[in-house]
Structure 1
């Protein structure tokens, strides 16, 4: 009976959690929440939000962690997440509390629950990462429903809140982007949370943005990439161009790890494709046939084949390079359309014919492709699964950062999906009016090294 007595003594001891008050208010905002209410709500969150955590987890183990993670606060007390405290001192107090409180249990259960508590704290297993994400989510919604009660009390900066939300950003990005991001920005805009601009990445379009009109990269823009990377940030290129063309342009710039090419149809990390989407073969064939019918010039980029009636200028320095890995197939008469898995279709020069083709495509394939102007009298078509915004989400998720930790630069319609994803969005001075209307900042023109000038000022790089 000694075993049973120890177990009952433990159950009596943890009833004290009902009296441990947290800084968060219950959802009605009428009183402070206690630890048992927090653990129950967190456990329910784990069941409800399970679908957003992409790894397989042992849910019994997750729920055990959730239910016991705050038992240490019976002796150690609650430490407000946004207060000033010593993390080391907090941890040592909680370790001592864990040994004493779980020590009431029989030896096997004591070892199991101390191990579970340590697993939660270390956040190295999939189960502990999920449990921590649920913990941070539960605390966040307490702030949302109490009109930012704890934020108003402790005045945390944006960077500190993002640090607290990091398990959600890394392991449940759909939850962060679909719910947390907008609420956090609301309280930044209200002045409750200070925006200390915790930038972790810079992403820029190429043509009309990072490149001058003559397609050159200014010394000032080259230098700013090195400064950004030296600061510990990622510098990401997002272009309608093929990766081969992008790499040719930035071959003298080191440290670029991520490339979003073909308006998001391919995303690269260290030269490896981490995302790819093609237009349906029959759809692309029909669109090219319609373009041929109205005598509109085009180029189509597949995995290896570049089929064209008019060569895209991005390939002018590559077409004669035997090491490019691309097959160039010219069809000036547009009579032998090559059926292939194309990532991007490009059309040139004639805005009246653009409208005819756009109307045709929108009527037949609006659910299958995205179509947009890309500057320099160019119109692009890519898969519906593709745009620069989605490409940027893929990069952010791979990096484990939030979209509101990114500065994005663009100038044209094909950049809007990317610019609308981020908080720190910048249109070049030469941008279309529709782009300038949708962004937070407007910088200098591409011919004035607008990207570099903005970054040097915004990130205090000079």
Structure 2
């Protein structure tokens, strides 16, 4: 008889394959193809490994990696909410909570509890690890949009003030990366790919 714990873990692994089908509004670098959530999470994980030295505070890198790898799994049920959506809040919703409980709840209890706690920590954005993970989450689409002549900013008429507001979260995780990001935002206005 197969180990029940292993069977639960395998079912979870099969379920999260669905993250590959969740399309984001942001397009790949220098491309007109939309990124999916799995690509986004993979990219963030590598960004964490490369950019950790720029964190404002010492951080537990493994915990940050867990955050960026699981933070969008809830979108299997809740779908992706565009950060600049004017109709639906991008913050933690009851829909996402239900998704977290269902999807992470497929795991053995202690793993489910750990993943839910990590997801909640990311969403709250209060710990050093969460602040750095969220900085990476906001930096990636900024780099993508600047590589695509404004990308989703142009496509959806997003203005400078909204981009600045949403991206300013980066400074909570890294002053160094925020200085770079702020420069990119201002340069985007100067070259006309982001409107004031």
Would you call these one fold, judging by a TM-score over 0.5?
A: yes
Larger % of helix: which?
A: 2
> Which residue of structure 2 lines up, in the alignment, with residue 181 of structure 1?
182
Partner in structure 2 of residue 153 of structure 1: 155
CA contact (8 A) 1:155 1:192 kept: no
Q: Which residue of 2 aligns with 1:57?
A: 59
Number of the residue aligned with 1:72:
74
How far residue 162 of structure 1 moved from its aligned partner, in angstroms, is 1.8
Question: How far does residue 188 in structure 1 lie from its aligned partner after superposition?
Answer: 1.8
Q: Secondary structure at the match of 1:138?
A: helix
**Residues 92 and 123 in structure 2, CA contact (< 8 A), matched pair in contact too:** no
Distance 1:71 1:104 in 2: 13
How far the C-alpha of 1:189 sits from its partner, in A, is 2.7
**Count of residues in correspondence between the two structures:** 194
Gaps of 5+ in 2: none
Kindly report which structure 2 residues correspond to 1:219-258, keeping only aligned pairs within 5 A, or say none.
none
| More contact order relative to length (CA 8 Å, sep ≥ 6) | 2
| Residue among 15, 27, 30 paired with 1:28 | 30
Q: Is the partner of 1:33 in helix, strand or coil?
A: strand
User: Aligned in 2, Cα 1:48/1:184: closer, same or farther, shift over 3 Å?
Assistant: same
- How far the C-alpha of 1:56 sits from its partner, in A, is 1.1
Q: Give the Cα–Cα distance (whole angstroms) in 2 for the partners of residues 98 and 21 of structure 1.
A: 19
Instruction: Please state how far the C-alpha of 1:192 moved relative to its aligned partner.
Output: 4.0
> Could you tell me which residue of structure 2 aligns to residue 38 of structure 1?
40
**Rounded Cα–Cα distance in structure 2 between residues aligned with 1:116 and 1:67:** 10
Return closer, same or farther for 1:89/1:187 CA change in 2, 3 Å cut-off: closer
Give the distance between the partners of 1:97 and 1:138, measured in 2 at CA: 24
User: d(CA) in 1 for partners of 2:90 and 2:157?
Assistant: 22
Give the aligned partner of residue 195 of structure 2. 194
SS in 2 for 1:49: helix
Which ranges of structure 1 fall in alignment gaps of 5 or more residues? 196-462
Instruction: State how 1:324-335 maps to structure 2 within 5 Å.
Output: none
Normalising by structure 1, report the TM-score.
Answer: 0.40
CA distance in 1, matches of 2:158, 2:32: 23
CA deviations 1:13-62 (Å, max 9, x no partner) are 00111111111111131411111110011011111111111311111111
Contact residue 83 and residue 154 of structure 1 kept, 8 A: no
Tell me which moved more, 186-195 or 3-12: 186-195
* Aligned equivalent of 2:167: 165
Aligned Cα RMSD in Å?
1.6
Q: Alpha-carbon deviation of 1:169?
A: 2.2
Determine the C-alpha separation between the residues in 2 that align with 1:32 and 1:82. 16
Measured after TM superposition, the shift of residue 183 of structure 1 is: 2.3
Decide whether the 8 Å contact of 2:134 with 2:173 is kept in 1: no
Distance in 2, matches of 1:48 and 1:81, equals 25
- Paired with 2:87 and 2:116, the residues of 1 have a C-alpha distance of 24
